[in-house]
A and B are shown apart, each in its own frame.
Chain A
Amino acid sequence: MKAGFLKRPMKVNMNMYPQIDSMIDDFFRKQAGRWADLPKGVTGRREVFRAGNMKLFKFDSPAEVEGRTPMLFVPSLINRWYILDLTEETSLVKPVAEKFPTYMIDWGYPGCEASHLPFEHFYKRALNRIVKFICRESGHEKINMLGYCIGGTLSYLYSCIEPERVNKVILLASPINFEDGGISGLYAKNFPTEQFLESMESMPGGKIAEFFNNIQPFGVIKKMQMFQKKHQDEGFVKMFVAMERWIADDGVNFPAKAYYDFIGDFYGKNKLAKNELTLSDGTAIDAARRTAECLILNATADHIVPVPATALPAADAAPRETLTYNTGHIGITVGKYGAEVRKNVINFLNKGEEGVANV
């Protein structure tokens, strides 16, 4: 009887899957309560430029800020931009947009069509295109930039290539010196780059998210335990839902050639810190050419970009300021130190700017 039961072919009704999906979705929506429909980015904005997968948003600002130096946010390539504008309480964009004309890049969801684009495409071609657009639109010759995570690496590289276009640059938990890249560095240095380039069109976003979960075993369980403890706190639930939704929005693939360059040249050979990086036309990227004043914001508990990895190259002689917070990679934007980070960012941007009060 038993053997017969095992031999019986299992009947699976394929039509059931969409129903199961909608049931799961419904369950989570009910759990999220009124926060289920939280917008992706809370500050009012409009799309002002589009090129391929990439979009540029301009945030709503009061009319009197129009003459001030424009500010460009450069988010990471591996996740979505709205972590910097997650909720009203934690948004880094909102207070900046109240004082400066503010722009944000949305790198979009690159597919196989972008798999051949090198890392240089992002920090030279794409950024140059955007900065030129902003300069043309605003009538300024220079802009300020804030890069988060890999976005900071891109902004830093751009400030080396086009020093005359960057006024100030803020590096928020951004890797520059990959010598001591922490656990990300350990995995990156062992990563089979050649086989990867031969077989993959991109580094799937889901796999990157999986990696971040795996390097913190029990991280998900601890998160759930915390939710169980604090689920009656409205503010916590709102933040939890917003964060989880952002984390789950992980369809952001890293184009294969760009990933290959990033892992090989940056994590592998640490060319940026050694000042050995060159563009495809042979031009050297020299950190000594950089003139933009720099604010480095890093976190002691950041396991993705440890504090030593945020150090600038020795050749860089431009003025800089470093502020370290006792928090993590995401906590630096949305955690309890977020308010302090926002205050320091605005005060740094205010320096030398006419008619802008500190906070």
Chain B
Amino acid sequence: MFNFFNEELMKKMYDEWEKTMSTHLEKMVHDQGFVSEMAKAMASTMTGKAMASKAMDDSFSMMNLPSRTEMVKALQKLTDLEERLLDLTEKFDDFVAETKSARGAMQRSLDRIEEKLHTHQAGAEAPEQKSAKKGSKK
């Protein structure tokens, strides 16, 4: 008698079924018609969701209660504030860094000027000392 529950046969049958289904489904999910129909269904669901949310918001507002949309807006405002604060902190950090480097550059040029002055002063003092020495010898 033919054994219908032969493990090998069942396995083969499953493999064949999987292969056929896989090819078929693969073709389906890549099909432009299927995708555009799915998009239409999604669009209608989303429109429905938007309408339901609006109705819910309206009923909350009639009861003088804050709606989800209002709470989300408040959260978004907080995010914006946080972003602004971060931008300002960043600008401040940039300013500090720029000031530091400007101060460093200023200090360096001041040092150079001071050094030049010293050399100049030393140069001016040297002939005076020479002439003073000559005078004392005489």
Contacts of A198 in B (CB 8 A): 46-47, 50
- Indicate whether A196 sits within 8 Å of B75 (C-beta atoms), given known contacts A51-B86, A217-B25: no
A186–B32 CA distance with the chains assembled, in angstroms: 8
User: For chain B residues 31-52, which have a beta carbon within 8 Å of chain A?
Assistant: 32, 35-36, 38-40, 42-43, 46-47, 49-50
- Indicate whether A217 sits within 8 Å of B22 (C-beta atoms), given known contacts A114-B79, A200-B46: yes
Q: Does A232 count as interface, using CB distance less than 8 angstroms?
A: no
Number of interface residues of A (CB under 8 A): 30
Contact of B43 among A52, A195, A201 (CB under 8 A): A195
- Indicate whether A186 sits within 8 Å of B35 (C-beta atoms), given known contacts A198-B50, A217-B22: yes
A134–B46 CA distance with the chains assembled, in angstroms: 42
B78 with A199: CB separation less than 8 A: no
A52 with B82: CB separation less than 8 A: yes
B79 with A218: CB separation less than 8 A: no
- Indicate whether A218 sits within 8 Å of B18 (C-beta atoms), given known contacts A52-B79, A195-B43, A201-B72: yes
Contacts of B25 in A (CB 8 A): 217-218
A191–B97 CA distance with the chains assembled, in angstroms: 47
Q: Which residue from chain B places its CB closest to the CB of A199 in the assembled complex?
A: B50
Q: Does A215 count as interface, using CB distance less than 8 angstroms?
A: yes
- Indicate whether A113 sits within 8 Å of B90 (C-beta atoms), given known contacts A52-B83, A199-B50, A214-B29: no
Contact of B29 among A51, A200, A217 (CB under 8 A): A217
A217 with B49: CB separation less than 8 A: no
Question: Taking chain B's interface residues, is the majority helix, strand, or loop, or is none over half, making it mixed?
Answer: helix
A187–B42 CA distance with the chains assembled, in angstroms: 12
A129 with B75: CB separation less than 8 A: no
A201–B71 CA distance with the chains assembled, in angstroms: 12
B22 with A218: CB separation less than 8 A: yes
A272–B64 CA distance with the chains assembled, in angstroms: 46
- Indicate whether A192 sits within 8 Å of B43 (C-beta atoms), given known contacts A113-B78, A199-B49: yes
A256 nearest CB across to chain B (Å): 10
A125–B53 CA distance with the chains assembled, in angstroms: 31
A186 with B79: CB separation less than 8 A: no
Contacts of B49 in A (CB 8 A): 199-200
A192–B22 CA distance with the chains assembled, in angstroms: 27
- Indicate whether A115 sits within 8 Å of B72 (C-beta atoms), given known contacts A52-B79, A191-B39, A214-B29: yes
Q: Does B26 count as interface, using CB distance less than 8 angstroms?
A: yes
Q: Does B76 count as interface, using CB distance less than 8 angstroms?
A: yes
Q: Does A136 count as interface, using CB distance less than 8 angstroms?
A: yes
B35 with A199: CB separation less than 8 A: no
Contacts of B78 in A (CB 8 A): 113
29 A-B contacts, Cβ less than 8 Å apart? A51-B86, A52-B79, A52-B86, A113-B72, A113-B78, A114-B79, A116-B76, A116-B79, A136-B93, A183-B29, A187-B39, A190-B35, A190-B39, A192-B40, A192-B46, A195-B42, A195-B43, A195-B46, A198-B46, A198-B47, A198-B50, A199-B47, A199-B53, A200-B46, A214-B29, A217-B22, A217-B29, A218-B21, A218-B25
